[in-house]
Structure 1
Amino acid sequence: MEQETEAVPRKRKEADSALATELGRPPWDLEDKQPKAKKARLSTILFPETCEVTHRQLCELLKYAVLGKSTVPKPSWCQLLHPNHLSSVVIFILKGMSQLHFYKFYLEFRFLRKTFKHKFSLPPPTSDFLFDIIGLQKKKSTRGFPRTIEGPLMSAVLKSSTNLQNDPIIQKYGCEKVGLTRCLLTKEEMKTFHFPLEGSPNCENFILTKCDGSITDSSPLFGLDCEMCLTSKGRELTHISLVAEGGHCIMDELVKPDFKILNYLTSFSGITKKILNPVTTKLKDVQKLLRKLLPPDAVLVGHSLDSDLRVLQIAELNLEALASHEELKAASQEPGNKGGPTECPNMSVLECLDSVGQKLLFLTRDIDELSSSRNCQTIRCSSNKEVLEQARVEVPLFPFNIVQFSFKPFSPILAEEMKKRMKTKWTEMSTVYAGPFIKNCNIEAVKKMFNSLGPVESITLVLETYMPHFCIQYEVLEAAQLAIETMNGILVEDSYIRVHRPVTEFTLECDILVHELEQDSENQGIIYVAGLGETFKEHLLDQSSLFPGLEAVILPKDVKSRKQKNYCFLKFKTRDNAQVALEIFKGKDWKLKGRHALTPRHLQAWLKDIHPEPATPSGLQIVPPLLEKHVFQTLKENHAKIVAWRCNQRIERLYHSLSPGTLCLILLPGTKNTFGSHPGLGLMKIKEEENDTPGLGV
Structure 2
Amino acid sequence: MECSSSSNVPGGKKKRQNEAPSAEEDVKRRKTEEEGDEDLQRRPCGSAKVSVPLDRLQQPITAAQLMELLHFAALGKSRGVKQPSWCRLHHQRKVSRINVAIVDGVTQSLFYNHYLSMEHLRSSYTTRITFTPSSDDVASDIFSLEVPKVDFLSLAAPEEAFHEALKDHPVITTYGTQRRGLTAYLLSQQQMIKNHYPVKGLPGFEDFLCTGSDVSVTDDSPLYGLDCEMCQTTKGNELARVSLVDGDGNCLLDELVKPQNHVINYLTRFSGITAAMLRPVTTTLRDVQAKIRTLLPEDAVLVGHSLNNDLKALKLIHPHVIDTALLYRKEHGQKFKLKVLAEAVLKRQIQTEDQRGHNPTEDAVAALDLARYFIGTGPLQVVELHLEELWGWSLEESPSYTPEPTPSYRFADILQSLSRPVAFLGKRANVDLDLSHQRWYGSDKEMLSSFRNQTGHLFLSVLRFSSLSDHLKRSYVHRHHQQQLYHNVSAVFRDMCTVFSGPFPANFSKREVRRLFGCCGPVRKVQMWNTGVRIHAKVEFQMLEGAMLASEVLNGLSVSGQTIKVQRPVKESMLDLDLNLDALMSDRVNANQLYVSRLTQDVAEGRNVSVTVNGRLSDGKPSGFHPGRQTNGPLQTAKVNGTQLHPGTTAPDLSEESLREAFSPFGSIKSVTLPGIHARHARIEFESSDGKRAALGSSEDLLKNGYPTWPSMTPPHLHSWVGMATSRKTQDEEEDAADEQRPDSFNCSGIQRNQEVSLLNKLDRRLSRVFSSLPDGTLSVVLLLGHNSRGFDHPGLCLLEVKNGF
Question: Fold-level match, TM-score > 0.5?
Answer: yes
CA gap of 1:87–1:535, structure 2 versus 1, over 3 A, is closer
What is aligned with 1:539? 658
What is aligned with 2:119? 110
Amino acid at match of 1:361: A
Decide which structure has greater helix share. Answer: 2
CA gap of 1:590–1:70, structure 2 versus 1, over 3 A, is same
What SS is found at the alignment partner of 2:659? Answer: helix
Distance 1:388 1:78 in 2: 30
What SS is found at the alignment partner of 2:144? Answer: coil
- Aligned residue among 481, 497, 502 for 2:569: 502
Distance 2:546 2:433 in 1: 53
Distance 1:419 1:473 in 2: 19
Which has the greater radius of gyration? 2
Amino acid at match of 1:633: G
- Is contact 1:549-1:577 (8 Å) kept? yes
TM-score, normalised to structure 2, is 0.52
CA gap of 1:623–1:665, structure 2 versus 1, over 3 A, is same
What SS is found at the alignment partner of 1:598? Answer: coil
Q: How does 1:116-265 map to 2 (within 5 A)?
A: 116-126=125-135, 128-135=137-144, 166=385
Amino acid at match of 1:592: Y
2:604 is equivalent to residue 596 of structure 1: no
**How many residues of Structure 1 are paired with residues of Structure 2 in the alignment?**
469
What is aligned with 2:760? 644
Distance 1:647 1:659 in 2: 21
Distance 1:405 1:519 in 2: 27
Amino acid at match of 2:423: L
Distance 1:452 1:627 in 2: 32
Distance 1:429 1:552 in 2: 27
CA gap of 1:663–1:498, structure 2 versus 1, over 3 A, is same
**Post-superposition shift, 1:605?**
2.2
What is aligned with 2:414? 352
Distance 2:521 2:45 in 1: 44
CA gap of 1:636–1:441, structure 2 versus 1, over 3 A, is closer
Distance 2:69 2:698 in 1: 38
What is aligned with 1:415? 482
Amino acid at match of 2:749: F
What is aligned with 1:364? 426
- Aligned residue among 759, 764, 770 for 1:654: 770
Q: How does 1:280-295 map to 2 (within 5 A)?
A: none
- Aligned residue among 563, 571, 574 for 2:685: 571
Amino acid at match of 2:486: K
CA gap of 1:414–1:648, structure 2 versus 1, over 3 A, is same
What SS is found at the alignment partner of 2:78? Answer: coil
What is aligned with 1:551? 670
What is aligned with 1:390? 450
What is aligned with 2:795? 679
What is aligned with 1:527? 594
2:437 is equivalent to residue 377 of structure 1: yes
Amino acid at match of 1:122: F
**Post-superposition shift, 1:403?**
0.8
- Is contact 1:586-1:592 (8 Å) kept? no
What is aligned with 2:460? 400
**Post-superposition shift, 1:663?**
0.8
- Aligned residue among 62, 69, 75 for 2:84: 75
Distance 1:146 1:93 in 2: 28
What SS is found at the alignment partner of 2:674? Answer: strand
CA gap of 1:122–1:37, structure 2 versus 1, over 3 A, is closer
What is aligned with 1:634? 751
**Post-superposition shift, 1:382?**
0.5
- Is contact 1:90-1:662 (8 Å) kept? yes
- Aligned residue among 549, 559, 583 for 1:482: 549
CA gap of 1:487–1:636, structure 2 versus 1, over 3 A, is closer
- Is contact 1:146-1:372 (8 Å) kept? no
What is aligned with 2:721? 606
Distance 1:146 1:688 in 2: 43
In the TM superposition, what whole-angstrom CA distance separates every residue of 1:421-480 from its partner, at most 9, and x where no partner exists? Answer: 222222222111123457788998765442211122344443237544332222222101
- Is contact 1:107-1:513 (8 Å) kept? yes
What is aligned with 1:669? 785
What SS is found at the alignment partner of 2:717? Answer: helix
Distance 1:372 1:147 in 2: 14
TM-score, normalised to structure 1, is 0.59
Distance 1:677 1:110 in 2: 26
- Kindly report the root-mean-square deviation, in angstroms, between the aligned alpha carbons of the 2 structures: 4.1
**Post-superposition shift, 1:352?**
2.4
Distance 2:679 2:383 in 1: 71
Distance 1:673 1:366 in 2: 23
What SS is found at the alignment partner of 2:595? Answer: strand
What is aligned with 1:87? 96
Distance 1:671 1:605 in 2: 16
Q: Which segment drifts farther, 104-113 or 601-610? A: 601-610
**Post-superposition shift, 1:372?**
4.4
CA gap of 1:525–1:623, structure 2 versus 1, over 3 A, is same
Distance 1:667 1:576 in 2: 31
**Post-superposition shift, 1:334?**
8.0
Unaligned segments of structure 1, at least 5 residues: 1-35, 151-158, 176-332, 558-562, 691-698
What is aligned with 1:55? 63
Distance 1:606 1:678 in 2: 9
Q: Percent identity?
A: 25
CA gap of 1:498–1:80, structure 2 versus 1, over 3 A, is same
Distance 1:488 1:627 in 2: 29
Distance 2:563 2:90 in 1: 54
Amino acid at match of 1:128: D
Distance 2:753 2:523 in 1: 41
What SS is found at the alignment partner of 1:48? Answer: helix
